[in-house]
Amino acid sequence: MKFIKFCEKYKYLIAIGIFAFCLFFGENSILETRKLNKQINDLEDELVRYKLCAINVKAQNSTLANSTDEEIEEYLRKHHNLKKMNEDVFRVVQSKK
């Protein structure tokens, strides 16, 4: 009985409290929504980078498909550090100071 009277007396304060609780806490809170929107933007940026990378790989693939064996061998040696049997390869690397 006392609880019902308390609820009737402070119904607006209770409603504001529940609204504030839902606004700042829980799955659908403003803070959670902002965090998820930031994550979505980061993933969209990453998707754009991967699409550009895929375009570059397709361009390299098309140029290598039309290349001679010597050009393909040169590309593989330069970019993938491949070598022939019984061959030593030395790479000169600048030191970072």
Amino acid at site 85: M
Residue 93: predicted pLDDT:
85
Torsion, CA 59, CA 60, CA 66, CA 70, rounded to 10: 160
Query: So what's the pLDDT on residue 6?
Result: 83
Query: Checking phi first, is residue 81 left (phi over 0); if not, alpha (psi -120 to 50) or beta?
Result: left
Per-residue pLDDT at 18 = 87
10-residue mean pLDDT profile of the chain (97 residues): values are 83 88 83 93 97 94 88 84 79 82
pLDDT given at position 55: 96
Q: How long a stretch of residues is the chain?
A: 97
